[in-house]
Amino acid sequence: MKKKIMVLTVAGALASAAAAQNQYDALRFLGNDVNGTARFVGMGGAMSALGADLSTISTNPAGIGLYRSNDVALSFGFNANKSHSDFSGSVMDEKRNRASFDQIGFVWSTKIGNKTDLRFLNFAFNYHKLVNFNRQFASKGGLNGNSLTWQMADMINGAGYQNKTNFDALLDAGNPYTESAFYDTPYLGVMGARTGLVDVDWNDQGNITRIYGWNGIDGEYYSRETGSINEYDFNIAFNVRDRFYFGATLGVYDVDYLRYSSYGENMQRSNGDYQGNFTLNNTYKTEGTGLDLKVGAIIRPFEYSPFRFGLAIHTPVWYNMSDRYTSVLTSNLALGNSTSSYTENLMDYLSGGQYAWDYRLITPWRFNVSAGTVVGGIMALDAEYEFESYSSTKLQDYEGRELNGQAAIKETLKGVHSFRVGMETKVSSAFSVRAGYHFRSTPITSDAFKNIPATDNTRTDAEYMNLKSRQAVSVGLGYRGRLIYADVAYKYDFYKGDFYAFDGGIDQAGNLMLAPTKVNNERHQLLFTVGVHF
């Protein structure tokens, strides 16, 4: 059974206090793709104990301490994203292919001495694309009477409309989205009422006896996402007696995310005598910047053994975020012998044509342990484990107060476990082959849902997806010359999810009234790195 999250609100609160991001907004900016240099990707991102690769600057900063010479590298490639959706037997596929610039960085290695305790002092900078948001998704199928209009009706009912006069005031208001009399009414409910998708029955005293929507026949959803999270890392690392390596990395983050979505329904009422359809278009944009600090160590416990283990701790990323969103709802209704069309565009009511909200997102602490070795001088092996408690993510306003979505985060987000293993084998003095595997556990409970009235009643994008575990397999090939090196990697990334175009609620038996759309997401990445070591 779904767990309903109850949030107490203060009567008469300002409209801005009702604006808050939810657990799905937070989840979007947690975790990361396995991305960076082609060597790193080819080994599945498992290099935290081996080190000596620019991408370890963001997993275990001590990895930069293993460099004994200077290094410059850049990486670029191509991504092919595919989503496959199955909504009760109705199947849709979407693809989005894009080129990508993924990494550029350098290491400046300074030798201190052969007999001093401190052997090398290294400095490094690296940029890499932490998360790539580019994807398209589509879903459609029969609704069997379920409809987004009933969620809109629930919002009107939950806002306390008990008298026909008050409901008519909502319909006739000049701007119900900013007028204080309607602060407790979710935007999506207002839009539904003002476009004929939500209606009421009342008695002779003018008291409302029923608030209702339409019966959905079929629905179709489409979304396109673009943007990325970019990470800029500044590192200092130490080599102590060629056995102890320490490092620290200051991470600077840049967030740029944009989603356009469109959801439409065909519907009916009164045994089919009334017919109608609507289309809801949403545009949602997030920009932000963040900072974190990572510290790590790699220790070779046995003097004459290549075996080593690593430890790293990442502080939370402190993000300052800005969201901008707007929507348009258009309906066409055939009511017996009459037809009506309505359009409700938030751009006509909001300052600047969109809702603006600034807030803070604080990600969880991250802990990494790893072990690696070299076998026979030709094969390098690395395995590592990482943990983050997603439920400790924090959403705050700029005054430090928790946002309403915090309750949903604590209840539905989970502790996430990541495992990575990688292998590199020399096949000649110049060429190596690589392989890797990455697993990340399910980040959110299967019964989670987007509770707009409780978390963010200014939002009109009702859709959400409950992600499952994520996996990636990769292979690679590397060339090492005296000065120039080049690497190529291929990665296949895949995960599943349950998608809902809206919250259909639960029946008396505790079962979901709206069946989930089963989604398979895939990404094929081809990555190239060229570099110079000197």
Q: Quick: pLDDT tens for 314-344.
A: 999 999 999 999 999 999 999 888 899 999 9
Structure tokens at 72: 């410059």
Structure tokens at 296: 């790590």
What average pLDDT score do residues 106-113 get? 97
Task: Give residue 511's identity as a one-letter amino acid code.
Answer: N
pLDDT-derived band at 510 (thresholds 50, 70, 90) equals low
List the one residue out of 490, 428, 380 whose CA is nearest residue 52: 380
3-state secondary structure of 474: strand
CA atoms of 287 and 291, how far apart (whole Å): 14
Structure tokens at 391: 């439920």
- In the 8-state DSSP scheme, what is residue 460? -
> Structure pTM?
0.93
pLDDT at 392: 97
Q: In which element (H, E) is residue 189 found?
A: helix 187-194
What average pLDDT score do residues 387-413 get? 95
Task: Give residue 200's identity as a one-letter amino acid code.
Answer: V
243 or 4, which is more confident: 243
3-state secondary structure of 149: helix
pLDDT at 2: 40
pLDDT at 9: 34
* Mean pLDDT value across the chain: 93
Give percent of the chain with pLDDT exceeding 70. 95
Tokens 């989970």 sit on residue: 414
φ/ψ (deg, to 5) at 492: -115, 115
Three-state DSSP string of 226-250: EEEEEEEEEEEEEEECCCEEEEEEE
What average pLDDT score do residues 437-463 get? 95
List the one residue out of 130, 32, 26 whose CA is nearest residue 393: 26
List the one residue out of 265, 297, 229, 284 whose CA is nearest residue 31: 229
What average pLDDT score do residues 444-448 get? 95
Q: In which element (H, E) is residue 153 found?
A: helix 148-158
pLDDT at 396: 95
CA atoms of 244 and 362, how far apart (whole Å): 32
pLDDT-derived band at 240 (thresholds 50, 70, 90) equals very high
pLDDT at 16: 45
For the chain, the domains span 15-147+214-274+288-533
The string of pLDDT tens digits covering residues 184-213 is 999 999 999 999 999 999 999 999 999 999
Structure tokens at 249: 């990395």
pLDDT at 281: 98
pLDDT-derived band at 3 (thresholds 50, 70, 90) equals very low
CA atoms of 359 and 36, how far apart (whole Å): 29
CATH class label, 15-147+214-274+288-533:
mainly beta
> Is residue 26 a contact partner of residue 42, using CB atoms and an 8 Å limit?
no
CA atoms of 296 and 450, how far apart (whole Å): 37
User: Does residue 65 come out as left (phi exceeding 0), alpha (psi in the -120 to 50 range) or beta?
Assistant: alpha
Residues 6 or more apart whose CB falls under 8 angstroms from that of 108 comprise 70, 122, 123, 124
> Is residue 384 a contact partner of residue 371, using CB atoms and an 8 Å limit?
yes
Four-residue CA torsion sign, 452, 136, 387, 394: negative
What average pLDDT score do residues 372-387 get? 97
CA atoms of 410 and 407, how far apart (whole Å): 5
pLDDT at 272: 76
